[in-house]
Amino acid sequence: MRADGDIRVVVSHGICELDAAGAVAALFGSVQDVTEIDRAETELRASTALLDATLEHMDQGLMMIDEAGIVRVCNERAIALLDLPPDLMRSGPTFDDVRRHQIARGDFARCDDALRQQVAHEPLAGHPHTYERERPNGTVLEIRTVSLPTGGAVRTYTDITARKAADAQVAHMARHDGLTGLPNRALFRDSLDRRLSVVRRHGGTCGVLYLDLDAFKAVNDTFGHAAGDALLRAVAERIRAALRQEDLPARLGGDEFAVLLGGEADAASAAATAERLISSLREPVDLGGPRATVGVSIGIAVAPEHGSDSDLLLKRADLALYRAKSEGRNTHRLFAAAMDQAAQDRHRREIDLRLALRRGEFTLHYQPVVDLAGGRVAAVEALLRWNHPDRGPLGPAAFLSLAEETGVIVPLGEWVLNRALRDARTLPPGMRMVVNVASAALRQDGLASALRAALAATGTLPESLELDIAEGAIPEETGRLADLADLGIGLALDDFGAGASSLGALRRLPFGRIKLDPALSACPEQADLLRAIVGLGRALGRDVIAKGVETPAQLAAVRAAGCTAAQGFWLGRPVPFGDLAPVLAGPVTRRGIRRSRSA
């Protein structure tokens, strides 16, 4: 320590000079200040320890090879990732020694041929700067090589197994349906494109099946979306089980599926596959309590007979599916050329239908609903007619189903409601205006608000409007029925007896009237059933109205059964609003319209 308190490190050397007697006569020495040298050595030791700690604790494996090809540095992470013997690495091996060990253990077996040739046999300088390879244990390594200015290289090894698995999962999710695990539309389309490309270049055939579940919506509406999802998963499993390993099933969306047949396909083999699918899917599905039964309709198209382009083949399979659904469902149909013409005709009808609304080609006729006790008209029902410029007057049977399929029914229904409400302003006090509401319109948000606005705009009292709602719309729209009833308008359950209404639902829903299916009035053999249904309605406190009364015998039958009102050709045919005055003026007498079926 110096006088100023500074501590210095010194090295001293001394030589003793002895006299003749051997005693120390003199001492010669030197003292060297090595403080800075000692400090530098301490810092070097600390840096070396830090570097060693860094190398041994870094997540990457690291190997440094000098210009002579000798491995000078190899950290523990590299030894672990490459599964190298520690004794080998402590012996100062060459890079070729390490590689021979790896070759002997088959470490490059999962590389493709070109990469295996490079990394297993070529000099280090010939290796890719960065590449990935999978080891026999499944570990995927990313290997980077950086050349050193003096020769040799530093190589790092990064375990990217988890990242590659995540990438594979993302890629799988992008091309598979999340609910069922089946390939999705994108993967199906890519597979179909590749298959048709082979057919165009080398010949052969290709078959496509287009599937749509029958009655799936009813399951969703009745049991809820969770049950619907469970059903779709069960359907996917059954589709897989019914197919061969080389066939590719896919979920296109909703309750639509498709199958790309593997190998050579013709109409007979495609039909056989369709039969297996129909047979499998018609069996009830256990939804964890309730059991649901659905069917499937299938359209078939085969390339090149029905087209060698993906869009065309799928379109024609879809046309065949449409035909299967229109001819009874739970069946299959092979595409035929006539279906193209039918599709074109349908497209033209759809265009005509949309244009008809803009051109004012629709009109309303009104049919009286007669109170059977007093014999007077209690209500008039608005019935839609289309004055087609080429086909003449058309009744609803000619176009309503197309309007529902295409969505035109919603704006068309709005027109009917507004026209009927304007006409209702001149009806006698207490007489109801009856308007049919399609299920598609009932599903529209804001229906109650639109009705309230329409009533206010026309100055129509809510109690003078009655909406006829089809039986099939009940399961899904119970909340909206309550909203409509809150407006003060009347609600009638239409075509009761045509479906399978829940009596519990009928008891709790706000229907003031029940309108019977016309078939109940038409058959004398159903007199007992008619009385039973009418009795049920009356027991629930509902007025019961008979429809389709066309003969005096039918009128007598519905009167005897206890119906409170009736409508039909015998009591009055549908007529323009301006022709209603004689009917509304007094009691209804027998009308001489018995055979007409134009309404």
DSSP annotation of 524 reads G
State how far the Cα of 186 lies from the Cα of 261, in Å rounded to an integer: 17
State how far the Cα of 146 lies from the Cα of 157, in Å rounded to an integer: 12
Cα-Cα end-to-end distance for the chain: 123
Q: What is the pLDDT of residues 131-171, one digit of tens each?
A: 999 999 999 999 999 988 888 899 999 999 999 999 988 88
- Low-confidence winner among 205-214, 403-412, 542-551, 590-599 (lowest mean pLDDT): 590-599
Query: Higher confidence at residue 2 or residue 93?
Result: 93
What's the longest Cα–Cα distance across the chain?
A: 168
* 3-state SS, residue 493: strand
Does the domain spanning 177-335 belong to CATH 3.30.70.270?
Answer: yes
CA atoms within 13 Å, Cβ hemisphere of 3: 0
Q: At what angle do helices 216-223 and 225-242 cross, to 10 degrees?
A: 140
What single-letter amino acid sits at 574? P
Residues of the chain with pLDDT > 90, as a percent, come to 48
CATH among 3.30.450.20, 3.30.56.10, 1.10.645.10, 3.30.390.50 for 58-163: 3.30.450.20
pLDDT of residue 505: 61
Q: What is the pLDDT of residues 415-442, one digit of tens each?
A: 999 999 999 999 999 899 999 988 777 7
Q: What is the dihedral of CA 331, 303, 339, 357, to 10 degrees?
A: 100
Q: Please, which residues have CB within 8 angstroms of residue 565's CB and are 6 or more apart in sequence?
A: 369, 370, 371, 372, 378, 379, 543, 545, 546
Q: At residue 595, does pLDDT exceed 60?
A: no
Q: What is the mean pLDDT of residues 515-524?
A: 83
Rg over alpha carbons for the chain, rounded to the nearest Å, is 43
Q: Please, which residues have CB within 8 angstroms of residue 28's CB and are 6 or more apart in sequence?
A: 14, 15, 17
Q: What is the pLDDT of residues 322-352, one digit of tens each?
A: 889 888 788 999 998 887 777 777 778 888 8
Q: What is the dihedral of CA 501, 506, 509, 510, to 10 degrees?
A: 120
Query: Higher confidence at residue 444 or residue 492?
Result: 492
Q: What is the pLDDT of residues 359-386, one digit of tens each?
A: 999 999 999 999 999 899 999 999 999 9
pLDDT of residue 100: 92
pLDDT of residue 181: 94
State how far the Cα of 509 lies from the Cα of 476, in Å rounded to an integer: 12
CATH C-level class of 347-585: alpha beta
Q: What is the pLDDT of residues 530-551, one digit of tens each?
A: 888 888 888 888 899 999 999 9
- List the chain domain ranges: 1-56, 58-163, 177-335, 347-585
- 475: cis peptide before it, omega within 30°? no
